[in-house]
């Protein structure tokens, strides 16, 4: 941004960074249509390449990081970002749990490369897709594929005010009850990941008549030994259970462990 | 052979595009030896890990290719799987899909116009920067974008990666009353969209033209969005005409099932995104292509706005081949999408069931729709149990890469021909040229750093 230096004295500097991802979580910031210009008044959006061609130098007071680490260069870049950031917050399933691209963690990446590319030797990539916390200390992880707009604003305003973000770790079931949605599992026998999935979306899927598919990753407390039999009762076989746990948060430790237990017994 | 000292210019990453890439220019005197758009977004291997998944999963999974146009992925995926299973979604369910897609066009195209593209014409680094001097304009853009998001949130559940799309239709369809309240907001949005066309029409546009073939879907009687037949318009160069020739040229069509025979992907060493050629020639998809091929089928209000904005009458075969003016064409498309959304809402009657059953069968299916950035093709092969055995996704940016490189080459040569541009001038020119095409690099795999080598 082209701003006069004097104008910015005291305004905290925000940076938004991208690793392997779909851009959806940083787009969530641009989707805050009612709040965007207000946010820009409160802090200086200093580095945000999707929105601005005038990147400003660090250090940054708050860095939002989207995407997962999938190349050797990424490993170096996230270390640099940590060094120039006072607070580092990951946004979204890719940055907190490796994202859908972490499905390679269960496969032979050389074989994946050969499926997609005629000349796999041109393509540089790591064999794994890992969350940011696997490489550097992270101050806060905001979940979701994509993240929720309200939770993003809460995180930004919390750091502006110097307090911890108020983002509860309870399950989607709490949000369903609060919303007054009839339980799709109880009423219709629809398999639903709500009991083990982190709140944040507002229990959208049940409100639209489908079971939760876990896009916010594991909640603060999960009980898979009690939960998986419910999925089976409602018609899911082993492959279905493995698939639903191995999607957008496949490298989240709880989902990973539960899917391995299903697959290997 | 004499070697003069070569000069390498490095410029920071390209901003205001979706995704990550770099540009490498090799200049020889006043000629561009090579213009290479490097897309170095790390590959995410969607086509590989879709194998072994259920045939019901591509709409949810492939939406994660791109947070900017998830509906395009969801609906191309639905069409391809439904094609394999022999199911055709029509009537009100098809109308609701089109309405949902109008929401994505409004949101995504407005994002491009106001937040990514307009700052180039107004000497600003960002829309936030722009808001300091033109707050009312930026607020209009945010309001219009929000109207598109309102459609996505009502019909899809949320604006990014909506949850309500499924094979055969939707998990839940809206009540008439829900759409009625949306219509009130869209009527205000129609005024904002009309003003947007007028606003961007007042920008300064350099003379330029592109001589690629143009490729878009076409549908009888309507402006193709969620379905249609691939239709290619001949390149002016093939007809011996200048690149900025503004009249329609002959078109040819081919069935979507033969898409892979016509649009052939190749890999180049400098990019993680595949390049593609249409019957062996460079082609361009997106707003300029759609407007050239189907502009005469726009609604009255959109045609009138296009004429008032100086684009000429598309019903009389006037086309736009100036990439800088694509911002006007996009604004006309946004106006059309708002108008079309209102038409669909007016005619809406809730269908008897939210979706058609789509039983699996062993087959290969093909689907193509018009993503905001251009034609998006999906192909899936499934077995009798509905397990995917093969997947192919051909996004618009991968198709457009060749045309973007050619555009860069021509613009840089023109600039070199008229003096000694500084590095900063060349960078600004190239970044503008790339943003004219609205490349969504996350789709094509992802971002942009300019390197100029002079010898």
Q: Are strands A85-91 and A60-66 parallel, antiparallel or unpaired?
A: parallel
Using CB atoms, pick whichever of A70, A107, A145 lies closest to residue B161.
A145
Residue with tokens 């942009």, as numbered in its chain: B448
Q: What is the pLDDT of residue B455?
A: 57
In a domain, A190, yes or no: yes
Using CB atoms, pick whichever of A55, A115, A145 lies closest to residue B12.
A55
In a domain, A4, yes or no: no
Q: Taking CB atoms and an 8 Å cutoff, what residues of chain B touch A22?
A: 64-68, 442
Same domain, residue pair A66 and A98: yes
- Please tell me the distance from the alpha carbon of residue B203 to that of residue B117, in angstroms, as a whole number: 11
Q: Which two tokens stand for residue B226?
A: 């969620």
| Residue of A17, A22, A37, A109 best to disrupt the B interface, most CBs of B under 10 A | A22
Same domain, residue pair A17 and A133: yes
Q: Taking CB atoms and an 8 Å cutoff, what residues of chain A touch B17?
A: 50
Q: What is the pLDDT of residue B272?
A: 66
Contact check, Cβ <8 Å, A27/B67: yes
- Between the two ends of chain B, the Cα-to-Cα distance in Å is 13
User: What is the distance in angstroms between the Cα of B421 and the nearest Cα belonging to chain A?
Assistant: 20
What digits encode the pLDDT tens for the residues B120-130? 999 998 898 89
Same domain, residue pair A156 and A176: no
Q: What is the pLDDT of residue A151?
A: 96
What digits encode the pLDDT tens for the residues B377-429? 999 999 999 999 999 999 998 889 889 989 988 888 888 888 888 878 888 88
The pLDDT confidence band at residue B442, using thresholds 50, 70 and 90, is low
What digits encode the pLDDT tens for the residues B266-280? 777 776 667 789 999
Q: Taking CB atoms and an 8 Å cutoff, what residues of chain A touch B131?
A: 37, 40
Q: What is the pLDDT of residue A53?
A: 80
Same domain, residue pair A144 and A208: no
Q: What is B6-42+400-454's CATH topology?
A: Ubiquitin-like (UB roll) (3.10.20)
Same domain, residue pair A151 and A182: no
User: What is the distance in angstroms between the Cα of B336 and the nearest Cα belonging to chain A?
Assistant: 22
In a domain, A8, yes or no: no
In a domain, A69, yes or no: yes
Between B452 and B396, the more confident residue is: B396
DSSP line for B186-236: HHHHHHHHHHHHHHHHTS--------SEEEEEEBTTB--SS--EEEEE--G
Contact check, Cβ <8 Å, A54/B267: no
Same domain, residue pair A116 and A203: no
Residue B50 has pLDDT above 70, yes or no: yes
Q: What is the CATH number of the domain that holds A111?
A: 3.40.50.700
**CATH no. for B88-206+322-356:** 1.10.645.10
Q: What is the pLDDT of residue B3?
A: 35
In a domain, A3, yes or no: no
User: What is the distance in angstroms between the Cα of A225 and the nearest Cα belonging to chain B?
Assistant: 24
Total domain count, chain A = 2
Q: Which residues contact B9 (CB under 8 A, 6 or more apart)?
A: B423, B426, B450, B451, B452, B453, B454
Using CB atoms, pick whichever of B45, B49, B171 lies closest to residue A209.
B171
Q: Taking CB atoms and an 8 Å cutoff, what residues of chain B touch A55?
A: 12-13, 15
Residue B450 contacts residue B25 (beta carbons within 8 Å) = yes
User: What is the distance in angstroms between the Cα of B157 and the nearest Cα belonging to chain A?
Assistant: 6
Other CB atoms within 10 Å distance of the CB of residue B387: 16
Same domain, residue pair A130 and A83: yes
Mean pLDDT of all residues in B220-239: 96
Last residue of a domain, one of A110, A135, A160: A160
Q: Which residues contact A186 (CB under 8 A, 6 or more apart)?
A: none
In a domain, A211, yes or no: yes
Q: What is the pLDDT of residue A201?
A: 96
Residue burial A94-111, b: 16+ Cβ < 10 Å; e: rest: bbbbbbbbbbbbebebee
Same domain, residue pair A29 and A121: yes
Q: Find, in chain A, the residue whose alpha carbon is nearest to that of B17.
A: A50
User: What is the distance in angstroms between the Cα of B350 and the nearest Cα belonging to chain A?
Assistant: 15
Same domain, residue pair A27 and A126: yes
Q: What is the pLDDT of residue B89?
A: 98
Same domain, residue pair A133 and A200: no
Last residue of a domain, one of A160, A192, A216: A160
In a domain, A112, yes or no: yes
The pLDDT confidence band at residue B446, using thresholds 50, 70 and 90, is very low
Last residue of a domain, one of A105, A136, A160: A160
Q: Find, in chain B, the residue whose alpha carbon is nearest to that of A126.
A: B42
Residue B22 has pLDDT above 80, yes or no: no
Burial of B259 (0-12, 13-18, 19+ CB in 10 A): buried
Show the domain range for A190.
Answer: 172-264
Q: What is the pLDDT of residue B273?
A: 66
Contact check, Cβ <8 Å, A205/B163: yes
Contact check, Cβ <8 Å, A71/B66: no
Give the number of beta-carbon pairs within 8 Å between A and B: 191
Which residues of chain A fall short of a pLDDT of 70?
1-9, 118-119, 122-123
| Residue of B16, B61, B64, B71 best to disrupt the A interface, most CBs of A under 10 A | B64
Q: What is the pLDDT of residue B34?
A: 80
Q: Find, in chain B, the residue whose alpha carbon is nearest to that of A247.
A: B61
Contact check, Cβ <8 Å, A145/B266: no
Query: What is the ipTM for the molecules in this complex?
Result: 0.94
Using CB atoms, pick whichever of B66, B124, B159 lies closest to residue A22.
B66
Q: Which residues contact A99 (CB under 8 A, 6 or more apart)?
A: A20, A21, A67, A68, A92, A93, A129, A145, A248, A251, B44, B64
Contact check, Cβ <8 Å, A115/B53: no
Residue B289 has pLDDT above 90, yes or no: yes
Q: Taking CB atoms and an 8 Å cutoff, what residues of chain A touch B126?
A: 1, 45, 48, 51-54
Using CB atoms, pick whichever of A3, A33, A40 lies closest to residue B143.
A33
- Can you give the pTM of this predicted structure? 0.94
| Residue of B14, B62, B67 best to disrupt the A interface, most CBs of A under 10 A | B67
Same domain, residue pair A107 and A184: no
Same domain, residue pair A74 and A151: yes
Using CB atoms, pick whichever of A1, A113, A117 lies closest to residue B125.
A1
Residue B119 contacts residue B127 (beta carbons within 8 Å) = yes
What digits encode the pLDDT tens for the residues B309-320? 999 999 999 999
Contact check, Cβ <8 Å, B44/A101: yes
What are the angstrom distances between the C-alpha of B152 and each of A149, A207, A214, B149, B440? 14, 15, 20, 5, 20
Q: Are strands A44-48 and A60-66 parallel, antiparallel or unpaired?
A: unpaired
Residue B12 has pLDDT above 50, yes or no: no
């Amino acid at each position: 941004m082209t701003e006069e230096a004097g104008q910015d004295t005291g305004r905290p500097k925000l940076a938004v960074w991208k690793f392997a991802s779909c851009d959806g979580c940083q787009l969530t910031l641009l989707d805050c249509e009612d709040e965007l210009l207000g946010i820009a008044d409160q802090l200086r959006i200093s580095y945000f390449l999707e929105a601005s061609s005038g990147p400003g130098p660090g250090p940054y007071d708050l860095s939002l990081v989207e995407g997962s680490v999938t190349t050797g260069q990424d490993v170096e870049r996230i270390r640099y970002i940590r060094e120039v950031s006072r607070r580092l917050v990951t946004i979204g399933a890719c940055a907190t749990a490796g994202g859908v691209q972490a499905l390679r963690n269960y496969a032979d990446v050389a074989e994946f490369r050969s499926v997609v590319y005629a000349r796999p030797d041109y393509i540089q990539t790591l064999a794994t897709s890992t969350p940011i916390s696997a490489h550097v200390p992270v101050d806060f992880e905001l979940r979701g594929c994509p993240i929720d707009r309200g939770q993003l604003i809460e995180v930004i305003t919390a750091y502006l005010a110097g307090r911890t973000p108020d983002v509860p770790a309870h399950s989607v079931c709490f949000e369903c009850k609060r919303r007054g949605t009839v339980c799709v599992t109880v009423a219709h026998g629809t398999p639903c990941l709500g009991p083990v999935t982190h709140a944040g979306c507002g229990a959208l899927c049940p409100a639209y008549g489908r079971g939760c598919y876990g896009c916010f990753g594991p909640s603060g407390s999960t009980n898979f030994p009690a939960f998986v039999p419910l999925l089976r009762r409602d018609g899911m076989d082993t492959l279905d259970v493995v698939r639903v746990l191995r999607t957008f948060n496949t490298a989240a430790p709880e989902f990973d462990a539960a899917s391995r237990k299903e697959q290997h017994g | 052979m004499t070697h003069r000292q070569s000069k390498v210019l490095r410029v920071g990453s390209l901003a205001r595009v979706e995704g990550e890439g770099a540009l490498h220019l090799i200049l020889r005197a006043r000629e561009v030896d090579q213009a290479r758009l490097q897309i170095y977004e790390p590959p995410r291997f969607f086509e590989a890990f879709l194998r072994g998944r259920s045939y019901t999963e591509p709409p949810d999974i492939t939406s994660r290719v791109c947070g900017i146009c998830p509906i395009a992925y969801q609906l191309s995926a639905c069409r391809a799987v439904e094609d394999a299973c022999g199911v055709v979604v029509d009537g009100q369910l098809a109308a609701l899909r089109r309405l949902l897609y109008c929401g994505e066009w409004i949101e995504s195209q407005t994002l491009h116009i106001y937040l990514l593209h307009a700052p180039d014409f107004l000497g600003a680094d960002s829309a936030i920067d722009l808001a300091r001097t033109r707050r009312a304009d930026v607020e209009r853009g945010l309001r219009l974008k929000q109207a598109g998001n309102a459609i996505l949130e009502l019909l899809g559940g949320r604006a990014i990666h909506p949850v309500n799309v499924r094979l055969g239709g939707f998990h839940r369809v809206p009540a008439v009353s829900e759409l009625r309240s949306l219509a009130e907001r869209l009527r205000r949005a129609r005024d904002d969209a009309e003003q947007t066309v007028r606003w961007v029409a007042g920008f300064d546009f350099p003379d330029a033209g592109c001589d690629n073939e143009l490729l878009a879907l076409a549908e009888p009687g309507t402006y193709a969005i969620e379905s249609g037949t691939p239709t290619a318009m001949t390149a002016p160069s093939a007809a011996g005409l200048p690149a900025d020739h503004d009249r329609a040229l002959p078109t040819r069509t081919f069935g979507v099932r033969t898409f892979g025979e016509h649009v052939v992907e190749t890999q180049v060493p400098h990019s993680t995104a595949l390049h593609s050629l249409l019957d062996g020639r460079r082609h361009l998809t997106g707003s300029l292509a759609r407007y050239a091929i189907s502009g005469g089928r726009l609604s009255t209000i959109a045609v009138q706005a296009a004429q008032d904005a100086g684009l000429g009458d598309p019903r009389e075969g006037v086309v736009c081949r100036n990439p800088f003016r694509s911002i006007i064409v996009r604004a006309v498309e946004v106006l059309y999408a708002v108008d079309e959304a209102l038409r669909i809402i007016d005619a809406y009657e809730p269908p008897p069931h939210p979706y058609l059953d789509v039983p699996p069968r062993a087959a290969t299916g093909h689907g193509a729709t018009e993503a905001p950035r251009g034609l998006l093709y999906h192909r899936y092969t499934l077995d009798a149990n509905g397990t995917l055995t093969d997947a192919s996704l051909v996004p618009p940016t991968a198709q457009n890469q060749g045309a973007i490189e050619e555009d860069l080459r021509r613009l840089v040569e023109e600039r070199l021909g008229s003096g000694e541009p500084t590095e900063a001038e060349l960078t600004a020119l190239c970044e503008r040229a790339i943003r004219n095409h609205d490349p969504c690099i996350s789709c094509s795999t992802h971002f942009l750093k300019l390197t100029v080598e002079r010898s």
